[in-house]
Structures are given as structure tokens and as C-alpha cells.
Amino acid sequence: MTSALLALALLAALAGPTALRLYHHPAFITGRDGRLSTSTTLALAWTVILVWLLLACLAYGLTAGGGVTWFQGEHGPLSNLTTVYLPLLGGPYLALIGAKTVVGMRVQNGSLAKPAAKPTTTGRRPLRELIANDSGRTDLVDLQYVALSAVTMLYVVLFFLTDVGGGLPRLPGEIWALTGAPAGAYLVNKLATRANPVITRVTLADGILTIEGGGFDDARVTVADTPVPAVLDPVTCALTTPLPNPPQVPFPVTVTSHGLRSDPYIYTTQPTPTAPAAIPGAPSNPADVPGAPSNPADVPGAPSNPADVPGAPSSPAGV
């Protein structure tokens, strides 16, 4: 019981600071689009689990286990390290390396778009991104990869705590399939799936609707169920379309590219009013004309009172 509590404390000492660091600064486990990376997170989690198992076995062997002789023998505490635990770790790492390679190549050749994730006010990323695609929808392949990996980790941790003195838990050799098979499916999904267009931001100003996101190659835009012409900016990769008479807010905006349709983006902001066009070079106030007096009485030589004009009668009666 004491060995299990000490091993559990060691796990907390390893996983606690790591999780806290990633919670506040998740850049280490985010992809190039700024979202949490499923493959990176699971590979890191398996690394922490395996390091904990080895350190716990080392601590037990050098204290309660009696020394170096505890590690020796055909059926020693680390005898199934290469047959069970390294394959458990290898599947997630193969998925990590393969996914980064596939996504990088597809982004480079233009067959995949990875729009940047929306920034959060806290700087932290929601855990839901581990099981969601770029559009924010739950991805079944990612979900099964995360779920089966989490169950396998729990299985390993609990079995080890029940018998710390036995070394690495005697798991069936085929258990690596619980991480290897989902990792393979995850990688195939990255190869086969063509990403839907993703809308990250929509703005409307001066009668021009601007749609930001990714995957807008040969795209068609629909505003409030009405197709509208759109032009792709080659620099910003944003779609712009004239919308002089926008529909009543809120209204949905969707983008279709190569038969794949984005999730509707609900525009809820009131359009920016168009200001009257100013005449180039014309002053906004007549008083701003250079040399123009702000008061007619300020004209040089002009009398301040009409009665002061030479020859003018001082009163109507004098006419």
C-alpha cells in the first residue's frame, strides 16, 4: 500500500506540473493552426506514463526491492518493456510524425487549408479541440483515438498501482493494438479526408462583405440562402463580395468549394454605415478656406457699421 501511494505521488509530481504548464501555455501541444494537436498530446501523455513507470520501478528496486538483483532475471520487472510498452508508445509517435508530414505536404501543395484558430481571451485552448476538426465539429476518428488511448492509460496505471513490486504490469502483448490501430486510423484519416472550407470571420463595411478563413479555392458564397458573386484576394486569401443591400441581421454565410460546404457562419454585427464621400480638396467648413475671414466685419477696410460709409445718410429720414 505504501509503495502504491509513493508511486501515485510520483505520478502527480510528474504529470501535475506538466499539465499546469500546458494549461497556461499550450503552445507545445498546438499545431501550426494554433489548435490543440491530438497526436502531439497523446504522444506526450504516453511519454509521461512510461517515464513514470520506469522511475517508479527504479525507486522500488533500489529501496524495497533489494537492489540491482531485483532487475535481473528472465522474468524481471522490465522483461516486457520491449514487447508491450515500447509498441504502446510507438503507435502514437508514428501517428504524430506521419500526421505532421502529411498535413505539411498537403498545405504546401494547396490540397489542404489550415485557417488559424480563433484567439481566446485567456490564451488557453479548449480541450474539445482534441476531438474536433477545424470547423469545431466532433470528429469520430479523433474521438475514438483519444478515448481508447485514455482507457489504455488508465488500465496501465491502475494495474501498476495494484502491484508496484511486480514491475511493469503483465499486459497482453496484443494490447498495443488499442493505441496502434486508432493511431493508424487517425493517420489514414489525415491522408484521405479533404477538409471543408472553414469560415473564421465575416465583416461588412461600406457595402463590401469580407469572408476570412481557409479552403476557398474555386469557392462559391451564399448569403442568407442566396448565391452571390465573390472574388478571392490572392494576398489575404479572403473572399470579398459586394453587398449594397445586406439582409436583416443576423444572417448565415456559407462557402462551397469543390462540392464541400462550410459550416454556416452567423453574422450578427450591424453593418458599418457608409459616410458621405467628401469632395477632394474641398474644406469641410467654409471658414477653413485660407484667407477667408471668419466674420464679414473682419474684411480689411470694411466699416464695422454701414452708417460709417462716406456720404451715406445716418438715418432713413435724411434721404
Q: Structural domain boundaries of the chain?
A: 2-192, 198-267
For residue 129, give the nearest of 244, 26, 15, 264 by alpha carbon. 26
Long-range Cβ contact pairs of 303-308 (< 8 A, separation 24 or more): none
As separate numbers, helices (DSSP H) first and strands (DSSP E) second, the chain gives 5, 9
Identity at 28, one-letter amino acid code: F
CB-based contact 262:213 (threshold 8 Å): yes
- Does residue 250 have a cis bond before it (omega within 30 degrees)? yes
- At residue 282's C-alpha, the angle toward residues 278 and 284, to 5°, is 70
Grid coordinates representing 314? 445716418
Structure confidence at residue 299 (pLDDT):
46
Cell digits of residue 94: 508514428
CATH fold of 198-267, please? Immunoglobulin-like (2.60.40)
**Cell 498501482 identifies what position?**
161
- Residues of the chain short of pLDDT 70, as ranges, are 65-66, 73-74, 109-117, 119, 135, 173, 194-195, 270-319
> Rounded to whole angstroms, how far apart are CA atoms 248 and 254?
16
Query: Do the Cβ atoms of 133 and 50 come closer than 8 Å?
Result: no
What does R_g of the chain's alpha carbons equal in angstroms?
35
pLDDT score for 169: 84
Rounded to an integer, what distance in angstroms lies between the CA atom of residue 95 and that of residue 315? 104
Do residues 142 and 131 lie in contact, with contact meaning Cβ atoms separated by under 8 Å? Answer: yes
Half-sphere exposure for 35 (CA within 13 Å, toward CB):
18
Write the DSSP symbol of residue 82. I
Is residue 267 helix, strand or coil?
strand
Cβ atoms of 176 and 88 closer than 8 Å: yes
State residue 312's pLDDT score: 47
The phi, psi pair for 200, rounded to 5°, reads -105, -25
Task: Report the alpha-carbon distance of residue 86 to residue 78 in Å, rounded.
Answer: 11
Order of strands across the sheet with 231-232?
A: 198-205, 208-214, 239-242, 231-232
Give the pLDDT score at 115: 66
Cis peptide before 26 (omega within 30 of 0): no
